[in-house]
Every structure is written in structure tokens, then in C-alpha cells.
Amino acid sequence: MRKVFQAELHQIGEGLIEISQLVSDAVQKANTAFSTADTELAQDVIAADARIDFLQNDLDERAIDILALQGPVASDLRMIVGALRMSASLERMGDLARHIAQLARLRFPANVIPDGVRATFDELADLDEQIAGKVKELLETRNLELTNEINAAKARVSALHAGVFKAVAADDWNESAPTTVDVTLASRYYERFADHGVSVASKVTYLVTGEWQPSAPLV
């Protein structure tokens, strides 16, 4: 019975890694679609989000079954509860990648981002891709050094996000209202994607050390 239980826990861990890989793929494709106005690639991201949703629901159902049937304690219970929370963050990261792709599709054939802030968004995109890749590696290896790298990338994302709001509020901002809304939303999507990456990292830290390090509230 114990071997079966451990196998079920292992499957949950593997499920988180699988979802994180899909999220990493999604944000990379969404960023390319966003920067190049590639509607076909954007549509691929939008359609693929259903797979992430399905895997999250399946993982959560299996985790709840284990809670109900196995009565896990201590570290095993920590793993299951942590997996439930991590799967929610990963699913939300997939949603945010989909939102970025939807913006690209909405504004086709134009690019969403004006030239004045394009470099900022290129860096935001790169940082979010780095975070997604490091989250997957962290889930695979439990190497907590990666959490510092994720947190550092998130700090830079936050600074860039604040810079976007300053640019939009500046006297010399002369873009249209739709463009202003798009820029504001896109920056928010990138910032929240990074937030959820930090949230996953904090849960892995909790699983490894047993010490809770609260992150910012997520929406």
C-alpha cells in the first residue's frame, strides 16, 4: 500500500513538471506572436491552453482523492497541499500567456506595442521565459538556488512594469487610447506571470525545508 501511495505522489510531481513545460512553451510562443503579430502562432497558444486546464483539473482531482483515501501526514500532506496550490499558479501562468497571445491576435496586422516601449517589452518577455524555464527546472531538481534566480528576475520585471506605468503617465505619451490600454494590460500580464512563478518557487521551498515564505497575494 505504501508503494502505491508513493507512486501516486510521484505521479503528481511528474504532472506538475508536465504542466510547467507546457507553460514554458506557451509563453515562448506567445511572446513570438506578440512581437511579430503572428496570428497563427497566437491561435496555437490560445488553443493549447485547454490542455493546461485539463491537466490541472486532473492533477487536482488525483490529489484530492489521495487526501480522502490515504490520510497522508507530515511531509506527504505538505506535498499534496503544495501541489494543489502550485497547479493553480501554473494554470494561471498559462492563462496569462494566452492573454498575451490574444492581444497579438486582436491587433493584427499591427504590433501591439509602440516603438517607444518595445525594448522594455522585449526584456519583460525574456524575463518571463527565464522564469518559466527555471520553474520547470526547480520542480525537476528541487535546487533551491533557482529560487533566488527566479526572485531576482521577478524584481527586474517589477521595475520594468513600474517603468511602463511611468511612461504611459508621462506628458510626452501621445499614443491612442486603445494602444495605451493594450500597453497597460500587457505589462500587467507579464508582471503577474512572474508573480505566479515566484509563488511556485516559494511552495517548492516549503516542500524542501518545511519553512513557509509567504509571497505577495495573487489574482
Compute the Cα dihedral for 161, 199, 58, 10 and give only its sign: positive
pLDDT value of residue 216: 52
Reading the block at residue 119, the C-alpha cell is: 525594448
Contact 16, 84 (CB under 8 A): no
Structural domain total, the chain = 1
Structural domain boundaries enclosing 70: 2-209
pTM: 0.92
Reading the block at residue 44, the C-alpha cell is: 496555437
Q: Among 9, 181, 153, which residue's Cα sits nearest to residue 80? A: 9
pLDDT per residue as tens digits for the range 37-76: 999 999 999 999 999 999 999 999 998 888 777 666 666 7
Percent with pLDDT over 70 in the chain = 92
pLDDT value of residue 76: 74
CATH number of the CATH domain containing 157:
1.20.58.220
Q: Which conformational region is residue 37 in: left (phi greater than 0), alpha (psi within -120 to 50 degrees), or beta?
A: left
pLDDT value of residue 74: 62
Whether 214 is covered by a domain: the verdict is: no
Give the residues of the chain that fall short of pLDDT 70.
Answer: 1-2, 4-5, 70-75, 212-219
Whether 60 is covered by a domain: the verdict is: yes
Whether 215 is covered by a domain: the verdict is: no
Whether 218 is covered by a domain: the verdict is: no
Whether 149 is covered by a domain: the verdict is: yes
pLDDT value of residue 78: 79
Whether 126 is covered by a domain: the verdict is: yes
Distances (CA, A) of 90 to 22, 38, 164: 9, 24, 25
